[in-house]
Amino acid sequence: MAQMTRRPFRYGVAVLAVTAALASTTIPTIGPGLISLLFLAVFVSAGYGGVGPGLFATGLITLLAGIGPLLAEPEIPPWRVVAVLTLVAGGVLITLVVEALHLARRRIEASQQWLTAVLTSIGDAVIATDVRGRLLFLNPVARTLTGWDSEEAVGKPLPEVFRIVNETTRESVEDPVTRVLREDIVVGLANHTVLIARDGTERPIDDSGAPIKEPGGATTGVVLVFRDITARQRLEQELRQRLEELAEADRRKNEFLAMLAHELRNPLAAIHSAVQLTALPDAQDQRDWCQNVINRQVKHLSRMVDDLLDVSRITRGKIRLKKEHIEATAVIEHAVETVRPLIEERAHQLTVSLRPGLKLEADPVRLEQILTNLLTNAAKYTERGGQIWLSAQREDEAIVITVRDTGVGIPPEQIPRMFDLFAQGDRSLARSEGGLGIGLTLARSLAEMHGGRLTATSAGPGTGSEFVLRLPAEMPLAAGPAGPNPRVEPAT
């Protein structure tokens, strides 16, 4: 509808221009310049309305100013015919030239619109400057990263909008546009460059700058393309950390395998010696001793294999708890009896403090396994004649079991990862006792499977350590008599 409404108006402009040109002939001083005015009318008609109005004006002028007067004369001079043809040719030529200019302008505008759309749609930030380093264009991403609107930024020097510093030294970095204009090459930012936005927000970026050249090779400006690499840096940092963790895990695995070979060789060597001894003709009186050695070492090997199988089952999610409603005191006493031979062998003093009413739903075998590992660890890592405290009580809705010792302690940097598989600390005291050092890994995993947690604390090497096991209690706490006084169980 707008196109249809505008078309008559364009032709109306042509009529108006031709009328004005013809009317000027009444002015004596303008009369001799009629041909110029007629061509001007064609130019205005074509310039405003295009080819149609331009040709329309040419035809109208030819009819009114050329053919009409020509027909009124009895004899047509040849020069008048030439004048009319010149008028027609001039009008057509002017119309075509004006239309060509219109077409060129529309192509330029379309090209500019297309380029603007591309730069606006691109995912990277784009800034264009002139040869003086003053901004000419910012796309939406650039406006977001710099914090500047186009209206405010255009015409400003680049360093005022594009502020960059070194991430480490905080010193200003030469803007790439200056370097591009100086060296006339494509350049990029150094690593660890930070863009400071208008509001002070800092973002790590990388970028490249390139000269904008005319077809003849002259540089007319610089285009700068940059991007926020915060996410990429975070991903790279996570990847580096993961690679370090994998390398550390591989190192611990190799240490564990070496330790496993050592721990398997020791009992096998003892068994081999006992078997050879029983084969001697005069070894009948030592047969009982040899059998005890073999039985003890076979049990030791069985425990190591069981620990390895348990770790494998837990890792693969194959282990299943057989929970029962139990009294924690009975399980704790069974664990103490299991570890008592080791405690007595090392002449430790064990203090046990148990409160009554420690009821919970748990797998008694696995709970005893947790406590046995904790007590064994305390006995192994405590110098001969040391002290071990074992207590159990109820705190709100949890059963809290604590094992504390006066042993070698734990370095603070090892506490966060001491429950990880293959992450044991110095085992020099326990080396002669055998074992793979995976008891804490099993204990923590089993505690978490019960809905509880196992934590460790230590003031450092030589200060002892404390392990606290928290498990959900079976029922709300009820008022009851205080528990018995702690009992001390010195080694005999």
Establish how many alpha carbons lie within 13 A of residue 226's alpha carbon, considering only the half-sphere containing its beta carbon. 31
Q: Specify whether 25 is located in the same domain as 115.
A: yes
Q: Specify whether 308 is located in the same domain as 337.
A: no
- pLDDT for 83: 66
- pLDDT for 280: 76
| Average pLDDT value for residue range 247-258 | 74
pLDDT reading at 53 higher than 60: yes
* DSSP string over 83-139: HHHHHHHHHHHHHHHHHHHHHHHHHHHHHHHHHHHHHHH-SSEEEEEETTSBEEEE-
Measure the CA–CA gap between 448 and 335, rounded to whole angstroms.
19
Higher-confidence residue of 331 and 420: namely 331
Q: Which amino acid is at 247?
A: A
Q: Specify whether 274 is located in the same domain as 140.
A: no
Can you give the CATH number for the domain in which 250 is found?
1.10.287.130
- Which residues, 6+ apart, have CB-to-CB distance to 63 below 8 Å? none
Q: What b/e sequence results for 347-378 when a residue is b if at least 16 CB atoms lie within 10 Å of its CB, and e otherwise?
A: ebebebbbbebbbbbbbbebbbbbbbbbbbbb
Matching residue, tokens 């085992």: 427
Higher-confidence residue of 440 and 472: namely 472
- pLDDT for 204: 92
Q: Specify whether 341 is located in the same domain as 296.
A: no
What's the residue count for the chain? 492
pLDDT reading at 67 higher than 60: yes
* Confidence bin at 466 (pLDDT 50/70/90): very high
pLDDT reading at 77 higher than 90: no
- pLDDT for 453: 94
pLDDT reading at 174 higher than 70: yes
Measure the CA–CA gap between 197 and 443, rounded to whole angstroms.
52
| Average pLDDT value for residue range 210-217 | 86
End residue of a domain, out of 228, 246, 276: 228
Kindly tell me the sign of the dihedral angle through the C-alpha atoms of 88, 89, 94, 96.
Answer: positive
Can you give the CATH number for the domain in which 162 is found?
3.30.450.20
For the chain, give the percent of residues with pLDDT over 90: 29
* Confidence bin at 391 (pLDDT 50/70/90): very high
End residue of a domain, out of 280, 315, 350: 315
423: helix, strand or coil: coil
Higher-confidence residue of 30 and 306: namely 306
Q: Specify whether 286 is located in the same domain as 382.
A: no
- Out of 51-60, 148-157, 292-301, 435-444, the most confident range is 148-157
Q: Specify whether 155 is located in the same domain as 280.
A: no
H/E run at residue 12: helix 2-23
Q: Specify whether 424 is located in the same domain as 339.
A: yes
Measure the CA–CA gap between 449 and 444, rounded to whole angstroms.
9
The shares of helix, strand and coil residues in the chain, as percent rounded to the nearest 5, are 55, 20, 25
- For the ranges 57-71, 209-223, 237-251, 372-386, the lowest mean pLDDT is seen at 57-71
Domain with 78, as residue range(s), is: 2-119
Higher-confidence residue of 55 and 377: namely 377
Measure the CA–CA gap between 321 and 102, rounded to whole angstroms.
85
Measure the CA–CA gap between 175 and 2, rounded to whole angstroms.
50
Q: Specify whether 486 is located in the same domain as 340.
A: yes
pLDDT reading at 479 higher than 60: no
| Average pLDDT value for residue range 372-388 | 92
DSSP state of 475: S
- Residue 351: beta bridge partners? 389, 488
Please state, rounded to an integer, the average pLDDT across all residues of the chain: 80
| Average pLDDT value for residue range 303-317 | 73
Tokens of 192: 């660890």
301: helix, strand or coil: helix
Kindly tell me the sign of the dihedral angle through the C-alpha atoms of 25, 30, 36, 41.
Answer: negative
Q: Specify whether 168 is located in the same domain as 308.
A: no
pLDDT reading at 23 higher than 80: no
- pLDDT for 34: 57
Number of separate domains in the chain? 4
Which pTM does this prediction carry?
A: 0.48
| Average pLDDT value for residue range 54-83 | 67
Q: Specify whether 355 is located in the same domain as 476.
A: yes
Taking a C-beta distance cutoff of 8 angstroms, is the pair 56, 11 a contact?
Answer: yes
Q: Specify whether 209 is located in the same domain as 244.
A: no
Q: Specify whether 430 is located in the same domain as 329.
A: yes
Measure the CA–CA gap between 261 and 337, rounded to whole angstroms.
30
Can you give the CATH number for the domain in which 332 is found?
3.30.565.10
End residue of a domain, out of 228, 250, 272: 228
Higher-confidence residue of 209 and 15: namely 209
